[in-house]
Structures are given as C-alpha cells and as structure tokens.
Amino acid sequence: MYKFLDGCPRISYSIVGKGLPLIFLHGIGGNSLNWQDQQKYFSKNFTTIAWNARGYSLSEDYTGPLKFSDFSKDLLRLIDSLNIKKAHFVGLSMGARILMDFYSNNKIRIASLTLCDCYYSFKNFLNPKERKKYIEIRQKPLLEGKSLTDLAPEIIKSLVSPNCSESVRKKIYESLSTIRKESYLKTIKEATNYDVTHQLSSFTVPVQLIYGEDDKLTPPSLGLEIKNKINGSKLSIIKDAGHLPNIEQPKKFNDVLEEFLSQYKNCAEYYGKT
C-alpha cells in the first residue's frame, strides 16, 4: 500500500506489516518495488517501509540541483511523520550512501544499519578508467537524447551476475524504465562528489554489510574496506549475485538480514512507546 508524505517534495512510500520499523532505501536505478521480496518476508515481524526517493517513481520531482543531504532531510521528515524514534535501516548502493550521510546528523535515530553493495568515496570507486565508463554509459547517451529504456540492456549487463535469470533481468528492466531522466542525471552528477571516508570510523551503531560476490561495480573488496573502517561491523558475501543481491538472491539476502536483525530487533522504537 502506497502512502504519501506531504511537503516539498512529496515523498511516496510502501508500508506493509506491523511491528518495529524496518526501512528500505533503493539504489540509483531503482524504486520501492526493488524491495518487494523483503517487505513480503519481513512484514511478519516488522512494519516495513520502502520509500521512493525524491524524483523517483511516485515521489515528486524537485527544482534545482541535488545535494546528497537533501535525501537525508527527506528521510528525517519521513520517520518524524511516522512517529519513529529509532528504526532499522537497509540501503542498497545509493540507498546505503544516503544512510551513511544520514548517520552524521541523525545517529540517535538509527537502531541498526545494513549497507549493501556501496562505495564510501567516489574517488575510491573503481579505477579512473572504470569510473569514467560508469558515468559515460549512464550520462552521455541521455544528454544526447536517449532514454533509460534505451540504455537498460547495457546497464543491466553491468549490474547482474553471469547466471542471472531472465525474470530478474526483466524486473531490473522495468525498474530502470520508470526512471525520470532529469532526476537521474542530477543524481549521477551529485554521486561524483560523494565522500564519507573520514566519518566511517565514528560509526557506533550495529552495522551489517552485504555484497554480491559477482558485483563488478562495488566488489566485495570494497565491503572489506568498509568493514575495516567501521569497528564491529560484519560483512556477508552473497554467492551468485551481482550489484542487486536482494533481487537476484532474495532468500540468501533475507537470511543474512534476518540473522542480523534478530540480534538488535528491540533497539528500534516509536515515540511514546516502551
């Protein structure tokens, strides 16, 4: 069921289940539907919330350039509107980067963090040649008039594992085809400025890292770097999965997340409830 957070911009989100809050944040090419398997599974024990970031899906567009901190402000608005004092947060790729940024000013609102297939600094993201290719295949053709639907086959190829099923490829294609070009371009541009290198050592909440074994964009070696920077964090590698393990291998992903959340479930809370 979709609900809407009024404000500027208006934010849409899917909310399923009953219990303590568990919030999912999608990646740069995604939307709330990317978390359907997780919402279905975890709604038995949690109130699961999957948002559409500003400029995505049913959420409103916005004027002017994007600052990454805008996402964090939207997320704070959302949890305030739902009377959430502390939540468990799960973010994939861009969603994980939003959470790392969110932590800097809002750590008292975080019960736990699960960060999936992400980098912590664009400078350390792939090598210079690969970073250039990452931007070019996503940005240049759009500026020349093509659509995300035109680019989808090449992007999907860069995201999935070699044995990815056609049904999963179709899900990713459908996700990419809903993206609005201008919002996507602004997000790509702002992603190049991202760097939380010096913040990671200050993280004190429970952190679970999840990476796809076949992720070519953010390989497991990046997860190990983050693990070494965040004291006490855990790293799990999902076999037969690329950049989107929650979609390619939902059962394996859910098993890892469930094991982690079982240790900290009651750290989440609503205002006015004990």
d(CA 25, CA 57): 13
Give mean pLDDT, residues 44-52: 98
Asked if residue 181 has pLDDT above 70, the reply is: yes
0.85 cut: is pTM over it?
Answer: yes
Q: Write out the two tokens for 160.
A: 């999935």
User: Which class in CATH covers the domain with range 2-270?
Assistant: alpha beta
Mean pLDDT of the chain: 95
Nearest partner of 28 among 127, 138, 103, judged by Cα: 138
Residue 273: its pLDDT value, please?
66
Residue 25: its pLDDT value, please?
99
Asked if residue 274 has pLDDT above 50, the reply is: no
Q: What are phi and psi of 90, to 5 degrees?
A: -130, 125
Tokens 């759009």 correspond to what residue?
A: 142
Q: Which of 129-133, 142-146, 269-273 has the lowest mean pLDDT?
A: 129-133
Residue 189: its pLDDT value, please?
85
Residue 131: its pLDDT value, please?
77
CB count within 10 Å of CB 207 equals: 24
d(CA 151, CA 75): 29
Pairing assessment for the beta strands 110-116 and 207-212 based on DSSP bridges: parallel
Residue 178: its pLDDT value, please?
92
